[in-house]
Amino acid sequence: MLRFTLVSLLLAFTLGCASPRQPLPVPAPVDLQRFMGDWYVIGFIPLFPERNAHNGIESYQLSDDGRIAVSYQFREGGFAGPLKTYHPQARVVDNTGNTEWRTQFIWPFTADYRIAYVSPDYSETIIARQARDYVWLMARTPVIADDRLQALRQQIADMGYDMSAFRLQPQQWPESSPR
Q: pLDDT tens, 139-159?
A: 999 999 999 999 999 999 999
C-alpha span between 179 and 177 (Å, rounded): 7
At 4 the pLDDT is 34
Predicted confidence at residue 8, as pLDDT, reads 34
Q: Are 93 and 78 in contact (CB under 8 A)?
A: no
In the prediction, which pLDDT does 150 show? 98
Query: Rounded to whole angstroms, what are the CA distances from 27 to 100, 110, 167?
Result: 10, 22, 24
Going by C-alpha positions, the residue among 121, 120, 92, 87 that lies closest to residue 106 is 87
Which residues of the chain fall short of a pLDDT of 70? 1-21
CA distance 127 to 129: 7
Question: Do residues 91 and 102 touch, judged by C-beta distance below 8 A?
Answer: yes
pLDDT score of 3: 36
For residue 138, what pLDDT is reported? 98
Q: DSSP letter for 29, please.
A: P
Establish how many alpha carbons lie within 13 A of residue 116's alpha carbon, considering only the half-sphere containing its beta carbon. 27
